[in-house]
Amino acid sequence: MALIVQKYGGTSVGDPERIKNVARRIARFRSMGHQVVVVVSAMSGETNRLIALAKSIQDNPDPRELDVMLSTGEQVTIALLAMALKELGLKAKSYTGSQVRIVTDNAHTKARILSIDEDNIRTALNEGQVVVVAGFQGVDENGNITTLGRGGSDTTGVALAAALRADECQIYTDVDGVYTTDPRIVPEARRLETITFEEMLELASLGSKVLQIRSVEFAGKYKVKLRVLSSFDEGGDGTLITFEDDDKMEKAIISGIAFNRDEAKITVLGVPDKPGIAYQILGPVAEANIDVDMIIQNVGADGTTDFTFTVHRNEYAKAIGILKNVQAHIGAREISGDEKIAKVSVVGVGMRSHVGIASAMFRTLAEEGINIQMISTSEIKISVVIDEKYLELAVRVLHKAFNLEQGGSPLLV
Ligand code: ADP
Ligand code: ASP
Ligand code: MG
């Protein structure tokens, strides 16, 4: 008998038929004698609908009230799934985040889980119940409802698996595993049987939304056995996130390509080229709690230089406003920006031992006439910022150039 945590995403619980389908899958695991804790998302489209509703009242919805509202999406699904399980003759009990007691910090709309009280769940499991938990939500120490950021049900699933020391955490979604890139953009993308935790962390942080980054961080920290599977197929093995770099004979140099349309670029032109200037520009941005991703400072000429960085698109207007306020103080000539950019990244642990990946990437983009605006690298990834309109083309040509549909042998390098 194993203890399994299963998480079902929005599409997988998108209508009553799909919820019944999920209930039947859970029933099969129960009939094999396993204990099952299920985490569910809101029905597909529901979180977006609620956000739009809030914005129809307040342009910038109050974060505390937004969380009160968003948490209702998942609350509906847990009740429906518990009903569907009871219809099948199973014992089932639904729990909101606060009923479990998933305690988070108080950063509304992007809270972090601090602790999970597992007693209620253990008791219910010992009674033979299927425990159905609302994803994406918790409570802070004062009892305020919080949410964990978009895609946060993945993190609830993995955090519960860690707290309960579950044998496996299964993330059921609308694709049958982690692919070399988003299969909706590149139909030739290939499912990976395994991917290292390190690579998955990079892919998630660079925009592959198949797993929320914090869920991967949790899995790494607590050594949770994590698998991504399809809720629509039967019997597939999905993709297992592994901790060790297994010694496959032919290890691909590149494992996958991630992309992100959520960033915007800001350039501060004609600032004095002197010590402290980066701090003067980014200090006020950081104080406003705005995360900065890529940063470039040009070589100075005539005692001035240009400084460019990227922020999340949601925070673009705010960041521009902050910089306009300090423009005179910094002595900048102009503040400009571009919201229509995208970031494309190639990721692979094999890059550590191979040179030439960056030049292969740059050549491939150049051959398509795609201009690279910014570059950043780490040991296992190379990211470039390009014009958003070339994003899909860039992902497709890179996928082909690195031969990812056939196992990623490094034809190009
Ligand atoms: P859920 O609602 O189940 O949480 P998400 O929409 O959050 O599902 O995540 C699944 C989606 O992630 C897929 O439908 C796919 O379009 C996208 N995706 C992006 N990159 C990848 C990738 N490398 N492998 C698989 N899916 C990916
Ligand atoms: N319902 C939330 C969202 O749409 C959380 C999740 O689905 O993981 O982001
Ligand atoms: Mg998701």
Could you write out the DSSP letters of every residue in 27-39?
A: HHHHHTT-EEEEE
**Ligand 2 neighbourhood includes 146 CB (under 6 angstroms):** no
Distance 11 CA to ligand 1 centre (A): 10
Helix or strand (DSSP H, E) at 292: strand 292-297
- The amino acid at residue 146 is T
d(CA 132, CA 218) in angstroms, rounded, equals 20
CB 311 within 8 A of CB 293: yes
Query: Tokens 């290890």 — which residue?
Result: 251
Report the nearest atom of ligand 1 relative to the CA of 11: 2
Question: Which tokens in the block code for residue 123?
Answer: 């008791």
Q: 105: burial class by Cβ within 10 Å (0-12, 13-18, 19+)?
A: middle
d(CA 171, CA 219) in angstroms, rounded, equals 12
66: region left, alpha or beta (phi > 0 left; psi from -120 to 50 alpha) = alpha
CB atoms within 5 A of ion ligand 3 belong to 9, 151
Provide the residue-wise pLDDT of the chain in tens; the chain has 413 residues: 899 999 999 999 999 999 999 999 999 999 999 999 999 999 999 999 999 999 999 998 999 999 999 999 999 999 999 999 999 999 999 999 999 999 999 999 999 999 999 999 999 999 999 999 999 999 999 999 999 999 999 999 999 999 999 999 999 999 999 999 999 999 999 999 999 999 999 999 999 999 999 999 999 999 999 999 999 988 899 999 998 755 554 567 899 999 999 999 999 999 999 899 999 999 999 999 899 999 998 888 888 999 999 999 989 999 999 999 999 999 999 999 999 999 999 999 888 888 889 999 999 999 999 999 999 999 999 999 999 999 999 999 999 999 999 876 554 44
Pocket test for ligand 2, best of 150, 211, 218 (most atoms within 8 A of CB): 150
Nearest CA to ligand 1 atom 1: 9
Report the nearest atom of ligand 1 relative to the CA of 154: 4
Query: Tokens 């060790």 — which residue?
Result: 244
The ligand minimizing its distance to the Cα of 73 is: 2
Whole-number pLDDT of residue 88? 98
d(CA 275, CA 300) in angstroms, rounded, equals 12
Strand order in the sheet with 239-242: 92-95, 130-134, 35-40, 3-8, 168-173, 226-230, 239-242, 194-196
Closest alpha carbon to 357 in 323, 316, 401 = 401
**Domain 3-174: which topology?**
Carbamate kinase (3.40.1160)
SS3 category, 78: helix
Question: Which tokens in the block code for residue 239?
Answer: 């993709």
- The amino acid at residue 412 is L
d(CA 323, CA 308) in angstroms, rounded, equals 12
Question: Which tokens in the block code for residue 29?
Answer: 């695991």
Report the nearest atom of ligand 2 relative to the CA of 151: 8
How far is CA 377 from each of CA 206, 301, 367, 385, 400, rounded to the nearest angstrom?
A: 12, 26, 21, 12, 21
Distance 354 CA to ligand 3 centre (A): 33
Angle between helix axes 46-55 and 63-87 (nearest 10 degrees) is: 150
**Ligand 2 neighbourhood includes 135 CB (under 6 angstroms):** yes
**Ligand 1 neighbourhood includes 172 CB (under 6 angstroms):** no
SS3 category, 269: strand
Question: Which tokens in the block code for residue 291?
Answer: 């995360």
Distance 229 CA to ligand 1 centre (A): 11
* Beta-ladder partners of 40: 8, 134
Distance 172 CA to ligand 1 centre (A): 10
Q: What is the DSSP letter of 103?
A: E
d(CA 10, CA 334) in angstroms, rounded, equals 44
- The amino acid at residue 56 is S
Distance 371 CA to ligand 2 centre (A): 34
- Residue ranges of domains in the chain: 3-174
Report the nearest atom of ligand 2 relative to the CA of 9: 7
Report the nearest atom of ligand 2 relative to the CA of 136: 5
